[in-house]
Structure 1
Amino acid sequence: MKFLRLLILFLFIQSHAQQGGMWIPSLLKGMNETEMKNLGMKISAEDIYSVNKSSLKDAVPHFDGGCTAEMISNKGLLLTNHHCGFDNIQSHSTVEHDYLTDGFWAYSLEEELPNKDLFVRFIVRIEDVTTKVLEGVASLSNESDKQRKIQENISNLTNSSPKESWQENSIKTFYDGNQYILFVTETFKDVRLVGAPPSSIGKFGSDTDNWVWPRHTGDFSLFRVYADKNNKPAEYSKDNVPYVPKHFFPISLESLKENDFTMVMGYPGRTQEYLPSFAVEQIVNTLNPAKIEVRDAALKVQDGFMRKDKAIKIQYASKYASVANYWKKWIGETKGLKKSNAIAIKQKFEKEFQEKVAKAGKQAEYGNLLSEFEKNYSDINDYALARDLFSEVALRNTELLSVGYKLYQLEQILNTKGEQSFNDRRNNLVNGLGDFYKDFNSNVDEKVFEQLITIYSKLYPSQFLPENLKNIDAEKLSKEVYSNSKFVSYDKIKELLTGDSKTVIANMNNDKGYQIIKAIADSYFNQIAPKYDEINLKNTALQRTYMKAILELSPKSARIFPDANSTLRVTYGKIKGYKPSDAVYYEPFTSLDGVMEKYIPGDYEFDVPQKLITLYNNKDYGNYGVNGKMPVCFIATNHTTGGNSGSPALDKNGNLIGLNFDRVWEGTMSDIYYSPDICRNIMVDVRYILFIIDKYANAKNIINELKINYPTKKKTKK
């Protein structure tokens, strides 16, 4: 009976173990380690992060500053997402050798392809330096002075903290400026492409399936990290050798089942879990709808051209995917925030917060925080909307305007720093624009401009709208700009930028495209930016105090994790299905059957290579199939965001079981509010990755250098 009670208690603890949160790996001992073990983890916090011995953190580098990757062999082999390696795959692709369409596989080290400017960065050590960073700050009353002092302290510490000559120091802020942590890192700049499946596997479902479940995408690519003969970071050289990592992940082929423990390590980019309800309301009702409308229009134009012209498809594939990614994310985020009633939940939290403030006798220190937030978010609304529209229309999604903005900055440099600085920037600009124009099509961009300038003139707060963009005929204006502006080709813009500064500036200001971007930029920098920055600085100070109060007034057992900031984090949970809406339940696993169900011959998003069809029809799955099926993807309750793309999904023993690449659409609101009921991360099953490498690509050389743990056979009772 006693054993039964203990068993019931154990099952209760396991089923109610906490999930969610993005935790600093050096601080897992205590509450987090207990929670992880309750969920089923068998390794220790020391196995995950250690400075004295190799640990899991040594196998998880930051990939190219925006994604995550993992080491999977002792010869520097690195695994990340297909979409993380996409730019590099594209850069090697031509119409004749289209690696995006056909895939790429190196069957020897000599066949691996170097990648300009690609890098990976490993964490060596993590150290709390909060006291040193905040030294001398409390005595300052002005927020700008405080920020300057903090930056001064950070600069001094970054330069003076001990490290090896080949390492770097960086300091990041946590809990909205209430904690500062030093990261010592090593950056490797010789990273070569080893393998990538065709986009019909690596991007299967493309933008239609992006952010949704069920998913059937083999979103992976392979690279190799190279080092000098001493295993230290080095620029690209033919004399470099494969890097020997301190740790690499063994791969487990054990069958996965619902409620299995999962852990994801990576570099989540940015979350805002502790925003007040007023900020969330502004995101849901004002900012997200405007950004969605802009990107929706740009994507429809680009997609129309890409479907008709293969050369344009190659030119715009990476750009389109980048634009579409957050367009769809914002749609799902808004939907999830509404569905989960996040604003009301935050309002309830704020009511309870005020009660805690009163109970603690802290009204003088914290009592006015929420009322000040309410006023500030009301005051900043039009400025925030104008700022987002400037960014989305002028800087991100209309290429002619984004080039024009670089020239606008060139004119500002002449005005503020003089002739020499102007010439230096002009020369760098001319040299750098060659790569840009390689993937630029003026016909595509003209139609994008026509759509986006219409939205800009409609949504931009009328009191700030430039005179030359009021009551416009967008079609007429677009034809006029793209017929006459020098911005439409590399040769013409080089011609525009030839001559002394006086000549160049005069020619720029006579250019119709430049006149448009200058009016837009002048409006932003003269009327929007100063006021936005003023109010935002107030909110920054308020948010820091609000976070301080939350930490101070919450019980020690409270699960308060720092927002993501592109630093290494650990998140943990379980493989689990979910219920997105009434009468709908999603299983946590998909298989190759689903790929074939979605297959549409010749379709841009859902075509399937003939060889994969043959392998499926023959059920030729090698060591990787289970009960006649080929696993493809699975979902779990790990709390992830942008930057976790390419993160390793690990089992209870720290073995690789999958590769994180997405979240479910309804759960993208986890950047602002995490709910274990509907927030799920999506991972490609490592068995599918190995199946593609082995059976599809026949890259036995890659398989042979991996450490693969095959399923243990259960003994049958006699």
Structure 2
Amino acid sequence: MLKKLAMSVAMICAAATSARADEGQWQPYQLPQLKSELKKIGIAIPAEKLADLSKHPMSAIVSLGGCSASFVSNAGLVVTNHHCAYGAIQRNSSPEHNYIENGFLAKTRAEELPGGPNTLVYVTDKVENVTARVLKGVTPAMTGKQRHDAVEKAIKALIAECESSGSVGAYRCSVPAFHRGLEYYRIRQMMIRDVRLVYAPADMIGNFGGDIDNYEWPRQGGDYSFLRAYVGKDGRPADPSPDNVPYQSKDFLVVSAAGLKNGDPVLLAGYPGRTSRYKLPSEVRAARDVTFPQRVAEIQADLDVIAASTKGKPADEVRYASVAKSLNNVMKKAQGLSDGFARKDIAAIKDAQDAEFRAWYARQPGKSPQLLAELDTVIAADIALSDEEFGHGVAFTSDLLKSAATLVRLASEGAKPDAEREVGYQQRDQNMIRARLNRLEQSYVAGVDQARFAAALQRYAKLPKSLHVQGLDALLPAADAVPALYANTRLGDTATRVGWMGKDAAALKASGDAFLQLALKLDGVTQSLKDRRAELDGNLERVIPQYMAAVIAWKKSQGKPVYPDANSTLRVTYGTVAPYSPADGITKGPFTTVQGIVQKHTGKDPFNAPQKLLDAIKAKRYGQFKDPVLGTVPVDFLTSADTTGGNSGSAVMNRNGELIGLNFDSTYESITKDWYFDPEITRAIHMDIRYMLWIMTEVDHADNLLQEMTIKYPTKAAK
């Protein structure tokens, strides 16, 4: 019975046409089966066109490898969030040229700045179901690790086949799992690796409200930036070079300044990171009671060390600005999840759903009598091992130790044939590793890293024993021995650090570098933890897909949404502009305006708006960006679209597929949507494209970019 369920999953997904309009992060191929929902809310683009990655608007949607973005001209111009381009902004900033504080605008292409080795643009051009090929070598008699290794071997072969289909380095391919291992799709992406910073507003615009306003509403953030993708003269991806030319994007989004009103439909396309909608009640409770509280406490402690170590040192503060920003974002989301679990008993909701499912499953002919018991066993083991992995992460809170561990593993894996190497250490990964080792230069200060490591070791020692990694404690240095490690290493020097790439294990063992020696000593324990994870993952990959096939059949019988959890692949969601009520007697409207900036402005961070922006607001120089209903320039707006991390920078489009906003956040009450979608309070926060255009026109005078984009104004067409 379960085999039949697994085989029919595509048909089940295609048949799920009665889903709520707001919930669902849909794979593009599913959209034709949702055409009635799209039509119902007013989307004019044919669903079949949305499913075609080679056609507008999907062909204009790109990934930045952690954020989403879209082409807005045929010369490779990309628009995304300010916080998504923050690394590139920081990389080019210095106390003398602080582009974080003052913003940056290249008036000509010659003035555009290098985004850095980790600033990449991925263009998805092919998606194919390869489930049968991935699972071909799997047998019931395999242990968990044997099964995991067989799946991994098949995936590596599929990736190698895909990446050899074009010029070297042109494509980056992946084979992610869907429905927790029930299906596998091979995804081919053109990887553009010469990406340059074109324009970023001042941080006081792009990050107005800072961490205080993060996940909050009302919001007045101008969270946008522009990048440009460059390729070789032959049109193929190439390493950064002055000889490269702008990528000729075959499609791009038209920008609409016509605006929206309450109730209008939107489409949103991007690369959402991770959701956990199909987790079991026990997994929800573990996250609620242990995982997220631990994560909040650990990140806050690390942030406190960074703040204390960089205080009064402007250069150090700039170096750690991106690190602190990222940690703050993760921490606030974790805290929001904890608060959300407290506000609404999602575990109890899951209990009821789980009981209903198990009762349904018990009635099915040909059911597996041991499936649910096996499921509960592997989930309990996963929760326990995750505790150790958390402890391992705490103990490794040092950028130098992480770099040393990478070099040790790279040397060890380098002795194997490429196809047998650990994922992440193959030949295809060399440039990524080199970029990561180089990137450390822009966010590393020895004294700060030393303080972080010493404090983390002290915190690790105080963790409950269940969070201590088997065999690790006796190998870790004492906190008071940490200064000697930094005094006897040269890994803080970028050339030295990168220079260790390609050296064999014997060379590392012969080195006198304190961190390389420490990493060599810890590698065995780390690998043992990875081996235990591989064994457990293999068991999860054997049991979970059977469970998910049954869940999908159960949901289909109820006419409920059947979409896979987000996994950083291209998805489409849709909804409407909508207010919400976070608490009894409180209703929050769907738009904020520039008047809110004036009201929040204090002259001190994070509510310190630029004077030229305040002057433009007070002079009411709204021009054609004035909303006829609001009577002023809108800044941000809310919709019921289903989003999560990774959707930052996603194109928010109107009924005709024109760009009318950029997704950048969710309301605080919405954070638990990663685990449970509540249509009454789940709202995504988007920057209104009219605010961006107004800033570009009235404040930053980015006339060259306004002329490059195709913009549809409410009263007259213009370019």
TM-score calculated relative to the size of structure 1: 0.85
Give, in angstroms, the shift of residue 128 of structure 1. 2.8
Distance 1:517-1:128 versus aligned 2 partners, 3 A rule: closer
| Counterpart in the other structure of 2:247 | 243
Counterpart secondary structure, 1:486:
coil
Query: Would you say 1:91 and 2:87 are equivalent positions?
Result: no
Name whichever of 555-564 and 652-661 sits farther off. Answer: 555-564
2:92 counterpart letter in structure 1 = H
Within-5 A mapping of 1:65-76:
65-76=65-76
Q: Cα 1:517–1:291, aligned 2, differ >3 Å: closer, same or farther?
A: farther
Q: CA deviation at 1:201?
A: 1.1
Checking the alignment, whether the CA contact within 8 Å between 2:412 and 2:505 is kept in structure 1 is no
**Is 2:199 the partner of 1:195?**
yes
User: Does residue 345 of structure 2 align to residue 345 of structure 1?
Assistant: no
Q: Deviations over 1:619-641 (max 9, x none)?
A: 22232232442211112111112
1:549: which partner in 2? Answer: 550
Cα displacement (A) at 1:17: 4.6
Give 1:684 shift.
Answer: 0.9
Q: Give the whole-Å Cα distance in 1 for the aligned partners of 2:172 and 2:318.
A: 36
Residue 457 of structure 1 contacts residue 469 of structure 1 at CA under 8 Å; is this kept in 2?
no
Gap change, CA 1:535 and 1:652, over 3 Å in 2: same
In the alignment, which of 575, 583, 599 is matched to residue 597 of structure 1?
Answer: 599
Amino acid at match of 2:70: E
Between the aligned partners of 1:204 and 1:304, the Cα distance in structure 2 is 24
1:692 maps to what in 2? 695
SS of aligned partner of 1:444? helix
| Among candidates 644, 647, 650, match of residue 644 of structure 1 | 647
- Mapped to 2, the partners of 1:516 and 1:232 lie a distance apart of 42
Query: CA separation in 1, counterparts of 2:101 and 2:198?
Result: 16
Contact map agreement 1:188 1:227 (CA 8 A) in 2: yes
Distance (Å, rounded) in 2 between the aligned partners of 1:216 and 1:519: 50
Residue in structure 1 matched with residue 55 of structure 2 by the alignment: 54
In structure 2, C-alpha distance between the alignment counterparts of 1:645 and 1:229, rounded to whole Å: 31
Q: CA deviation at 1:519?
A: 7.0
Contact between 1:19 and 1:572, CA under 8 Å: does it hold in 2?
yes
Say if 2:127 is the partner of 1:121. Answer: no
Aligned ranges for residues 200-239 of structure 1 at < 5 Å? 200-229=204-233, 231-239=235-243
Say whether 1:361 aligns with 2:361: no
Match of 1:672 in 2: 675
- Closer, same or farther in 2 for the Cα pair 1:362/1:281, shift >3 Å? farther
| Kept in 1: contact 2:68–2:80 (CA 8 A) | yes
- Aligned residue for 1:308, secondary structure, equals coil
* Secondary structure class of the residue paired with 2:323: helix
Structure 1 counterpart of 2:465, which letter? P
Secondary structure in structure 2 of the residue aligned to 1:674: coil
After superposition, the C-alpha distances for 1:59-95 in whole angstroms (9 at most, x for unaligned) are 00112x2211111122321101111111111111122
Aligned 8 A contact 1:486 1:496 in 2: no
Alpha-carbon distance in structure 2 between the residues aligned to 1:357 and 1:309: 62
Q: 1:370–1:335: structure 2 CA closer, same or farther, 3 Å change rule? A: farther
Question: Residue 187 of structure 1 contacts residue 233 of structure 1 at CA under 8 Å; is this kept in 2?
Answer: yes
Counterpart CA distance in 2 for 1:273 and 1:230 is 44
1:245-394 pair list within 5 angstroms: 245-306=249-310, 308-363=312-367, 365=368, 367-394=369-396
Distance in 1 (alpha carbons) for counterparts of 2:289 and 2:179:
26
Partner of 2:6: none
User: How far apart, in 2, do the equivalents of 1:699 and 1:430 lie?
Assistant: 35
1:124/1:380 CA distance change after superposition, 3 Å: closer
Kept after mapping to 2: 8 A contact 1:46/1:55: no
Work out the CA distance in 1 between the residues paired with 2:357 and 2:108: 61
Q: CA deviation at 1:596?
A: 2.3
What root-mean-square deviation, in Å, do the aligned CA atoms of Structure 1 and Structure 2 show? 3.7
State, as a whole percentage, how many aligned pairs show the same letter: 31
CA contact (8 A) 2:580 2:587 kept: yes
1:502 to 1:145, Cα distance in 2 relative to 1, 3 A: closer
Q: Could you tell me how far apart the structure 2 residues matched to 1:611 and 1:175 are?
A: 50
CA change 1:187–1:467 in 2 (3 A) is: closer
Q: Alpha-carbon deviations, 1:426-471, whole Å to 9, x = none?
A: 9x9999856524532233234333432222111142674755599x
* CA positional deviation for 1:647: 0.6
Measured against aligned partners, the alpha-carbon deviations of 1:87-126 in whole angstroms (never above 9, x if no partner) come to 1111111221111111111112222223343321212233
Q: AA paired with 1:611?
A: K
The one-letter code matched in structure 2 to 1:27 is: Q
| Aligned-partner residue type, residue 682 of structure 1 | I
Instruction: Answer with 166-175 or 255-264: which moved more.
Output: 166-175
- How far 1:537 moved relative to its partner? 3.1
The answer to whether the 8 Å contact 2:82/2:207 transfers is yes
Cα deviation for residue 408 of structure 1 reads: 5.4
Compared CA separation, residues 42 and 306, structure 1 to 2 (3 A): farther
* C-alpha displacement of 1:542: 1.9
Q: What's the counterpart of residue 15 of structure 2?
A: none
CA distance, structure 2, for counterparts of residue 24 and residue 543 of structure 1: 20
Write out per-residue CA displacement over residues 361-415 of structure 1, whole angstroms, 9 at most, x where no aligned residue. 244x1x4434333333444444321211212441xx4334434534654786799
Q: Which of the two has higher C-alpha Rg?
A: 1
Distance 2:506 2:238 in 1: 43
Paired residue secondary structure (1:555):
helix
Cα 1:131–1:505 change in 2 (3 A) is closer
Query: Deviations 1:514-570 (Å, cap 9, x if unpaired)?
Result: 7876776655545x4444443343233221111111123332633110111221110
Q: Which residue matches 1:11? A: none
Alpha-carbon distance in structure 1 between the residues aligned to 2:507 and 2:155: 43
Query: 2:223, 2:495 → 1: CA distance?
Result: 39
3-state SS of 2:624 partner: coil
How far apart in 1 are the matches of 2:498 and 2:624? 60
Which of 544, 559, 562 is equivalent to 1:560?
562
CA shift for structure 1 position 480: 6.2
Change (3 A) 1:508 1:547: farther
Deviation (angstroms), 1:312: 1.4
Distance 2:530 2:243 in 1: 50
CA shift in 2, pair 1:18/1:438, >3 Å: closer
Q: Please tell me whether residue 449 in structure 1 is matched to residue 453 in structure 2.
A: yes
Measured in 2, the distance between the counterparts of 1:372 and 1:500 equals 42
Paired residue type of 1:197: P
Query: Is the CA contact (8 Å cut-off) linking 1:71 and 1:78 kept in structure 2?
Result: yes
Query: Shift of the alpha carbon at 1:273?
Result: 1.6
Aligned-partner Cα distance in 2 for 1:376–1:206? 41
Matched residue, 1:7: none
Residues in 2 aligned to 1:530 and 1:75: alpha-carbon distance in whole angstroms: 47
1:645-694 C-alpha deviation (Å, 9 max, x unpaired): 11100111111110011122222222222221222211111011111111
Q: Any stretches of 5+ residues in structure 2 without a counterpart?
A: 1-17
Structure 1 gap ranges (5+): 1-14, 714-718
Alignment coverage as a number of residue pairs: 681
**In structure 2, C-alpha distance between the alignment counterparts of 1:578 and 1:696, rounded to whole Å:** 32
TM superposition shift of 1:208: 2.0
CA contact (8 A) 1:253 1:709 kept: yes
| Alignment pair present for 1:81 and 2:81 | yes
TM-score (norm 2): 0.85
Query: What amino acid is the match of 1:631?
Result: P
Distance 1:518 1:500, change over 3 A: closer
Matches for 1:399-438 after TM superposition, within 5 Å: 399-406=399-406, 409=409, 435-438=439-442
Letter in 1 for 2:282: F
CA 1:213 to 1:508, structure 2 compared with 1: closer, same or farther past 3 Å? farther
Q: Which amino acid in the other structure matches residue 575 of structure 1?
A: V
C-alpha spacing 1:676/1:190, structure 2 compared with 1 (3 Å) = same
- Tell me, in whole angstroms, the C-alpha distance in 1 between the residues paired with 2:455 and 2:612: 41
Cα 1:140–1:532 change in 2 (3 A) is closer
1:43 partner SS: coil
Cα separation, partners in 2 of 1:694 and 1:399, compared to 1, 3 Å: same
CA distance, structure 2, for counterparts of residue 439 and residue 71 of structure 1: 29
> In structure 2, which of residues 445, 465, 468 is the aligned counterpart of residue 461 of structure 1?
465
